[in-house]
């Protein structure tokens, strides 16, 4: 039996009018006062959109004018004499069975409001344009100002909310107000058509679009005049399809999990379980285009939702990254890609500037993970909340954008300068091999920088950002050391891999300390030499000038980052070992032979009282 097959339970005219005049009107018009310029506000949205919460807010505001009448057919259902029995017998069809009387009661209340010039708040699905057109004409004739407050809510959220409300009512009273899939979808889609009519024909004085959290999305003053455009409809449609934030996705998943636990067959009837379980799965399916993708994290709670949905990920690439970073590609007959690699804080940006300057006549495209991280909608907030874990939280998306950007440029045969902090040789090869296969000359620039210098570099970058009032990124030691170690493996791999044409090792001041060029034979000229040069530079003692610069920055950071003083001290200790002798920490003098302390001899009587060695 379908919902629409429910047998109507229609009251006699006497019963109907008796309940209207003796119960509904006295209760719902109590406190309302006559207004010189009355206002009626239609709070519109599909089932589960949260109309009641917004209607409460509007009602509270209108109460300052002396009171208002709350109108809605759902409010009157419990007053129908047959409703309780119908609800107990089949709560999925009870509302349909009493619909005729509840709608007539609503019409009666609205007529009373217009006749007595009262303020009113009407909860409605706004699913019938003709019905609203007739109601608006009647209110206009009675002298009312007409406003529409419409809720823009994703269908997945409203569908799940309907089910949560139903489950709560079943748990509390044994039955609840059920809304079928068809009714929910019809109301959700018909709302847009009715809004289009209201705006085009000027049926209201103002239309305001709210989010479910009561935030205002748009407000249009019509003043009863017809106007072109679909601003309100566009705002509602856009909000329904807006990609969710990580927090919104998390809340939805938690609500869905809670509903799944409450719908267990042991708690409700099998028939209700099947209906609600299907609705939960349907809500999950409706959320697919908007919600984030769950990704595993090592730390509790073990999962987060900073991974963008498929649609949002590709929208950002096509609409932001391509025009912002990939718009000026100059095709080359023999394209070149230069990888500038080093651990975080090693100075890749400055080295890449040098490389880009050397290729200035070829207009290379510059790609950096740091630039692409900023394209992620969560990155700014993550930097504020977790400056040491922000990059890891969005790694999947920005690495995918990097791969897509490289492929985009390769297809157009433009030169590339790529900044990279590889976590493994495989990270490098995933990019280098496709470039070589596409006919690119592949050059590698490795930065030989001491671990203490690069760790201090990440701290200095973070402090500079804070000084300018910006959220900063402070790479964790684990993240730094992972790349620091991997760079040695990358050096060995690059020097012997056939996809790589040259390897260059630079100091932080851009002085070249090693270079190898792959000969025409394709064999490596000196396997292991790049890694050795990298290791030598990393262990090179500081000059007096370098040490003085390091210590100066250290003092600055101790003042700027007092919360990280232990880590700064650890960085300093690592650097001290390579500094000139006069800058080493003082050591205790080395003494030869036993140390004799001039202690006083114990008194004889005390020695007897407290023998050192037992005589037993």
Residue 152: give its domain's CATH number.
3.40.50.300
Kindly state the helix (H) or strand (E) to which residue 340 belongs, with its residue range: strand 336-341
Q: Is the pLDDT of residue 82 over 70?
A: yes
Q: Supply the range of the domain harboring residue 403.
A: 329-540
3-state SS, residue 572: helix
> Smallest Cα–Cα separation from 153: which of 59, 38, 52, 72?
52
3-state SS, residue 328: coil
Residue-level pLDDT at 610: 37
**Banded pLDDT at 209 (limits 50, 70, 90):** very high
Please give the tally of structural domains in the chain: 2
Across residues 206-231, what is the average pLDDT? 88
Going by their DSSP bridges, the two strands 416-420 and 365-368 should be labelled as parallel
- 518-526: which pairs have CB atoms within 8 A and are 24 or more residues apart? 522/498, 524/495, 524/496, 526/495
Residue-level pLDDT at 125: 96
Per the domain annotation, does 275 fall within a domain? Answer: no
Across 35-49, 126-140, 169-183, least confident range = 169-183
H helices of 359-411, in order, are 369-373, 379-385, 390-393, 395-411
Per the domain annotation, does 58 fall within a domain? Answer: yes
Across residues 456-461, what is the average pLDDT? 97
Residue-level pLDDT at 615: 39
**Rg, C-alpha atoms of the chain:** 36
C-alpha 142, offset from chain centre: 48
Q: Looking at the structure, do residues 517 and 405 belong to the same domain, yes or no? A: yes
Across residues 107-123, what is the average pLDDT? 97
Q: Looking at the structure, do residues 229 and 354 belong to the same domain, yes or no? A: no
262's tokens: 């409450």
Share above pLDDT 70 across residues of the chain, in percent, rounded to a whole number: 92
Please state, rounded to an integer, the average pLDDT across all residues of the chain: 90
Q: Looking at the structure, do residues 56 and 182 belong to the same domain, yes or no? A: yes
> Smallest Cα–Cα separation from 537: which of 516, 512, 507?
507
Across residues 575-604, what is the average pLDDT? 69
> Smallest Cα–Cα separation from 272: which of 94, 90, 98?
90
Residue-level pLDDT at 514: 96
Q: Is the pLDDT of residue 561 over 60?
A: yes
> Smallest Cα–Cα separation from 249: which of 306, 316, 310?
306
- Is it true that the peptide bond before 301 is cis, omega within 30 degrees of 0? yes
Per the domain annotation, does 184 fall within a domain? Answer: yes
Taking CA atoms, 1 is separated from 7, 319, 540, in Å, by: 11, 49, 83
* Dihedral sign of CA atoms 178, 181, 187, 188 in order: positive
Residue-level pLDDT at 597: 57
DSSP-derived secondary structure letter, 143: T
Going by their DSSP bridges, the two strands 336-341 and 441-447 should be labelled as parallel
Residue-level pLDDT at 176: 85
Per the domain annotation, does 108 fall within a domain? Answer: no
Q: Is the pLDDT of residue 4 over 50?
A: no
Measure the CA angle with vertex 26, ends 22 and 28; round to 5°.
Answer: 125
Q: Where among 522, 540, 558 does a domain terminate?
A: 540
Per the domain annotation, does 439 fall within a domain? Answer: yes
Beta-strand runs (E) in 188-316: 206-210, 216-221, 293-296, 303-307
Per the domain annotation, does 94 fall within a domain? Answer: no
Going by their DSSP bridges, the two strands 441-447 and 502-506 should be labelled as parallel
Across residues 419-447, what is the average pLDDT? 97
Which residue do the tokens 């140390």 mark? 595
Residue-level pLDDT at 596: 60
CB 336 within 8 Å of CB 443: yes
Instruction: Convert the pLDDT of each residue in 7-20 to its tens digit.
Output: 688 999 999 999 99
Residue-level pLDDT at 333: 96
Q: Where among 483, 514, 540 does a domain terminate?
A: 540
Taking CA atoms, 560 is separated from 348, 453, 461, 497, 613, in Å, by: 24, 18, 12, 44, 58
Per the domain annotation, does 226 fall within a domain? Answer: yes
Give phi and psi for 147, each to the nearest 5. Answer: -125, 150
Residue-level pLDDT at 608: 42
Q: Where among 224, 244, 264 does a domain terminate?
A: 244
Per the domain annotation, does 616 fall within a domain? Answer: no
Residue-level pLDDT at 606: 44
DSSP string, 435-468: HHHTT-EEEEEEE---HHHHHHHHHHHHHHHHHT
Q: Looking at the structure, do residues 204 and 343 belong to the same domain, yes or no? A: no
Give me the helix-helix angle, 544-560 and 565-576, nearest 10°: 170
Going by their DSSP bridges, the two strands 512-517 and 416-420 should be labelled as unpaired
> Smallest Cα–Cα separation from 337: which of 434, 206, 220, 459?
434
Euclidean distance between CA atoms 344 and 99, whole angstroms: 67
Q: Looking at the structure, do residues 468 and 341 belong to the same domain, yes or no? A: yes
Q: Looking at the structure, do residues 240 and 341 belong to the same domain, yes or no? A: no
237's tokens: 């449609």
């Amino acid at each position: 039996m379908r919902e629409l097959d429910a047998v109507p339970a229609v009251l006699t005219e006497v019963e109907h009018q008796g309940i209207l005049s003796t119960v509904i009107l006295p209760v719902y018009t109590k406190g309302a006062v006559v207004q010189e310029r009355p206002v009626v506000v239609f709070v519109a949205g599909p089932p589960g959109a949260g109309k009641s919460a917004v209607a409460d807010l509007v009602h509270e505001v209108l109460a300052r004018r002396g009171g208002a009448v709350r109108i809605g057919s759902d409010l009157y259902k419990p007053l129908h004499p047959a409703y309780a029995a119908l609800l107990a017998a089949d709560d999925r069809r009870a509302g349909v069975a009493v619909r005729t009387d509840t709608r007539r009661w609503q019409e009666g209340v609205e007529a009373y409001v217009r006749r007595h010039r009262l303020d009113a708040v009407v909860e409605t699905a706004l699913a019938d344009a003709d019905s609203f057109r007739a109601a608006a004409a009647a209110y206009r004739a009675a002298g009312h100002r007409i406003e529409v407050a419409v809720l823009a809510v994703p269908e997945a959220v409203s569908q799940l909310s309907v089910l949560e409300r139903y489950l709560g009512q079943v748990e509390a009273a044994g039955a609840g107000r059920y809304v079928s899939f068809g009714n929910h979808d019809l109301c959700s889609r018909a709302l847009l058509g009715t809004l289009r009519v209201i705006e085009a024909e000027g049926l209201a004085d103002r239309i305001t679009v709210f989010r479910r959290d009561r935030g205002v999305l748009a407000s249009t003053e019509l003043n009863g005049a017809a106007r072109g455009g679909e601003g309100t409809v566009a705002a509602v449609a856009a909000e329904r399809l807006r990609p969710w934030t990580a927090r919104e996705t998390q809340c939805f998943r938690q609500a869905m999990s809670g509903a799944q636990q409450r719908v267990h067959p042991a708690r409700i009837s099998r028939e209700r379980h099947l209906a609600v379980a299907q609705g939960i799965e349907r809500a999950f399916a409706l959320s697919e285009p908007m919600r984030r993708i769950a990704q595993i994290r090592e730390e509790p709670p073990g999962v987060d939702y900073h991974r963008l949905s498929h649609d949002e990920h590709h929208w950002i690439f096509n609409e932001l990254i391509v025009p912002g970073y990939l718009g000026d590609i100059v095709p080359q007959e023999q394209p070149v890609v230069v990888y500038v690699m080093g651990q975080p804080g090693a100075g890749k940006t400055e080295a890449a500037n040098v490389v880009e300057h050397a290729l200035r006549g070829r207009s290379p495209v510059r790609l950096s993970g740091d630039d692409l991280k900023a394209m992620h909608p969560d990155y700014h907030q993550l930097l504020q909340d977790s400056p040491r874990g922000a990059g890891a939280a969005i790694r999947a998306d920005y690495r995918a954008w990097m791969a897509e950007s490289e492929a985009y440029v390769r297809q157009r045969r433009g030169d590339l300068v790529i900044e990279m902090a590889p976590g493994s040789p495989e990270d490098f090869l995933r990019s280098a091999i496709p470039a070589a296969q596409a006919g690119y000359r592949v050059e590698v620039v490795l930065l030989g920088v001491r671990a203490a210098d690069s760790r201090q570099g990440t701290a200095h970058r973070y402090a500079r950002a804070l000084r300018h009032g910006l959220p900063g990124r402070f790479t964790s030691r684990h993240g730094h050391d992972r790349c620091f170690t991997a760079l040695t493996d990358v050096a060995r791999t690059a020097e012997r891999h056939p996809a790589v044409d040259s390897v260059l090792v630079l100091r932080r001041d851009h002085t070249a300390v090693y270079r190898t060029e792959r000969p025409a034979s394709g064999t490596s000229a000196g396997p292991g030499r790049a890694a050795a040069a990298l290791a030598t530079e990393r262990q090179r003692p500081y000059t007096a000038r370098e040490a003085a610069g390091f210590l100066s920055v250290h003092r600055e950071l101790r003042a700027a980052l007092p919360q990280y003083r232990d880590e700064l001290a650890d960085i300093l200790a690592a650097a001290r070992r390579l500094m000139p002798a006069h800058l080493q920490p003082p050591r205790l003098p080395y003494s030869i032979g036993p140390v004799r302390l001039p202690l006083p001899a114990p008194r004889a009587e005390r020695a007897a009282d407290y023998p050192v060695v037992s005589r037993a």
